[in-house]
Structure 1
């Protein structure tokens, strides 16, 4: 009996020892990937690689990539590990240009994973891959021309006026991110669905409730987003979805009921949904007058004639069913959260530096005087200092703080013998670039003069990329800028914004959020202007 017990103990010890040795050898091999290739890299920790603080939710993904960018100071690129997966962080703007633009056909897809069976609304322009993306981008691009934005502007500006009415009725000390979220929700719903969601008037408005649920970054929701963006295999195995069944059901119902009403009553409205209806019915909107401000034609790699990187000989697709709903869903989701963040961060920074606020208000009031007391699309677009202010906000707080691309084939980095192997993810760390003191001196200081004409021209264009670059630049860039500018212009034309007792002295980022957000919110004081 004693001999049997000793044998079991020895066997257990041998098994455990062998397992630990195998595990050590496995991780040692995985974490020597960049060392074997002679690439400077971060020192990994067991299991987590370079990603430990992000997994433990001590830092957000943007801060993680900023840390990798800073560790690679003086290098063109820097290796890291997301768990055991090797990834490359870019630091050289010319290499960023090479990968995002010139080598687009090699670095075509994003890393983000989606599940069309479990999450039908993930068939959207942000998440889909391959040829389907090419087709869809070509279909959708004409929707976001300057001509279209000008048509939508009155709808956006009405929401800006409602924002001022809300502030005037409120407690004067406002949690700005929540209020900006309500404004952004109203802007998106009226421009995407032609629906007055009344988020500013109704605290229980359905669209606002669903918006909160999508970006309610609990510990588990944060893990879901992190996995979808950074750990595609985990996301696939766990069946992680961007949109819940409840959200999908709500979006489908709202979308199709609105389309049916419009088609039955022959309602026409200058908004996103009207253009989607035209695409659904097979109408070609690319031949309309608006195209003079739309797609540009260029040649990538000197071989493929493309329109914004989209092959012209691609087979057509029919926009229908859930694919159509998915485009409205991502427009709503990405639009309201990024717009709310930009608006709230801008008002916070202007509250903390009243002289900047005063200068901007002078420009805003002067613009109103020239336009008979009304904002127009051209007036908002042409305010130079307002554009500088919003640009500085997007530098310091880029809503989506990283860009990612996956190598579709082996690629040798120019000027080196180092190969980025097929399947490797490459990251452009926007937060790291935008906060680089070599590019933006004293980066924590909020200074719109960084974006005056002289300073813009002196800077490499790929060292400021809040909307990305290349064929996959943010298609909603123009819409997002106009929506944020309208909110800020309307507020500053009517109120003085200042700190209150609960205003943080500096912004601390929420480590659970994928889109940059302030931890604990942003409370500000609003005083009505007498004019």
Structure 2
């Protein structure tokens, strides 16, 4: 029986209209959040808020945040909506400094979310929160000191030599190289050697397992892109849909690689200067430390109990640290090296200047490169810094306050649990700070020019206690990769090379849309 007269159609119209009205009122209430608090904000659209283009994968998360940064021009901070959830975008470098450093004790957690029960490898330094993160960061920081990175550098040098051999063989065939794929193979060889103690041979074997699983992790299909976006922007979706950072297949593969290597080392008493060896030492040290924390009566004190509650260094906890080192390292390093080769190919005079510095360093070291020589090349550092400005691999930073927080100099409160974003791509491409920001110019990072800018307008590795722990390792891997190529080869554009760079709207880590084809020609001796 019809509710209103005899027309089922009329009933349907009334019901649908009522639902639409309720939805309108609901979102009207949701989208009044920033206006009621006197915060300038981006005008939202029903349902999506300001997130529509990103959700539909027409722009990446980094590009979305850059657009919000630009829309808030002239403001210290700017309110946005991710669907119905309010968030705030920081624009003022002094305010960014306060939140990332001075008030870090309030903003030490990320919004980024994972399911640690169903995705065990997400128990890693990047995704963990609270006391577990603090304790793990404290324990792992000594693993990435300059001394430790230098110890691992011979492994990187070996991979760089394999990269040169690969390019020399390719030069004989005169084939065009896909820069991101070649750099991905090199970066994967570096990370697997240093993180898992395994020669993955990606440059020699096109079907190498580690390279295949690396592709799967960062396969920016529609659904995989949605998973990554949800991890960083939509924590409720991660919970409801059981989104996983590492698939079951990837977890199984990385777990086996990790434990097989440990078993072989223990059976053969092998020690190697790599990240895996440091994890083994960390595990063994934790056992001894826990034992020493028991009191004379055999009971455990509060410190030992707190340690065990935070992190238990065994099983998948160890695998998770190697897994995130592998994942974050190869994709970011590959992207940075590929972008550098592209920019140098498009401006040959910059490539020539860099090559002169590289060859001069080699002449001073009997025709070879050393760790110190690569580390200390000034122009190489300027080139890498400029690429990290224009293409920061992780284009946003996210933080969540653990209590209500009054923004300094205002009476505006950021409520506990509200997402706070630092839009790196927006900061790095601000024309008021970096004139003609699309132009690639390493001189922006000369010693003189660096001092003219606020240091918190350049944050490729984040800043404060939660900055990138692998910064030194990443820089030396990238610099050695570039020095190995540019010292022996001329990189130039081909017919298929894009004359301007377009970013992949599906990629969480900044990536070129459609690849980066280049010519790589061996220089005459």
Could you state the TM-score of these two structures normalised by the residue count of structure 2? 0.94
Answer yes or no: is the 8 Å Cα contact 1:282–1:318 preserved in 2. no
Alpha-carbon distance in 1 for matches of 2:288, 2:4: 81
**Any idea what SS the aligned residue of 1:459 has?**
coil
Listed one character per residue, the Cα deviations across residues 14-54 of structure 1 (whole Å, up to 9, x for unaligned) are: 43332222111100011111111111111101100001111
1:258 matched to 2:258: no
Aligned twin of 1:396: 390
Name which of structure 1's ranges 430-439 and 274-283 shifts more when overlaid on structure 2: 274-283
Aligned-residue offset at 1:158: 1.0
Alpha-carbon distance in 2 for matches of 1:85, 1:390: 36
Listed one character per residue, the Cα deviations across residues 238-286 of structure 1 (whole Å, up to 9, x for unaligned) are: 0000111110000111100100110111101100000001111126999
Aligned twin of 1:97: 97
Aligned twin of 1:315: 307
Alignment partner for residue 232 of structure 2, among 212, 225, 229?
Answer: 229
**Any idea what SS the aligned residue of 1:514 has?**
coil
Name which of structure 1's ranges 142-151 and 276-285 shifts more when overlaid on structure 2: 276-285
Distance 1:237 1:373, change over 3 A: same
Answer yes or no: is the 8 Å Cα contact 1:63–1:431 preserved in 2. yes
Alpha-carbon distance in 2 for matches of 1:63, 1:10: 45
Aligned twin of 1:26: 26
**Any idea what SS the aligned residue of 2:194 has?**
helix
Consecutive unaligned residues of structure 1, counting only runs of 5 or more, are: 287-310
Aligned twin of 1:152: 152
1:409 matched to 2:409: no
Alpha-carbon distance in 1 for matches of 2:468, 2:304: 20
Alpha-carbon distance in 1 for matches of 2:17, 2:454: 54
Instruction: Summarize the alignment of residues 333-482 of structure 1 with structure 2, pairs less than 5 Å apart.
Output: 333-482=327-476
Aligned twin of 1:42: 42
**Any idea what SS the aligned residue of 2:466 has?**
coil
Alpha-carbon distance in 2 for matches of 1:346, 1:323: 35
Listed one character per residue, the Cα deviations across residues 180-230 of structure 1 (whole Å, up to 9, x for unaligned) are: 000000000001111000000000000000000000100111111101110
Aligned twin of 2:293: none
**Any idea what SS the aligned residue of 1:337 has?**
helix
Alpha-carbon distance in 2 for matches of 1:172, 1:178: 14
Aligned twin of 1:270: 273
Aligned-residue offset at 1:7: 6.9
Instruction: Summarize the alignment of residues 107-256 of structure 1 with structure 2, pairs less than 5 Å apart.
Output: 107-170=107-170, 171-256=174-259
Answer yes or no: is the 8 Å Cα contact 2:389–2:428 preserved in 1. yes
Alpha-carbon distance in 2 for matches of 1:87, 1:252: 37
Name which of structure 1's ranges 388-397 and 158-167 shifts more when overlaid on structure 2: 158-167
Alpha-carbon distance in 1 for matches of 2:401, 2:18: 36
Answer yes or no: is the 8 Å Cα contact 2:48–2:82 preserved in 1. yes
Aligned twin of 1:72: 72
Distance 1:348 1:312, change over 3 A: farther
1:51 matched to 2:45: no
Aligned-residue offset at 1:172: 3.9
Alpha-carbon distance in 2 for matches of 1:313, 1:481: 38
Distance 1:127 1:134, change over 3 A: same
Consecutive unaligned residues of structure 2, counting only runs of 5 or more, are: 290-302
Answer yes or no: is the 8 Å Cα contact 1:278–1:285 preserved in 2. no
The number of residue pairs the alignment matches comes to 507
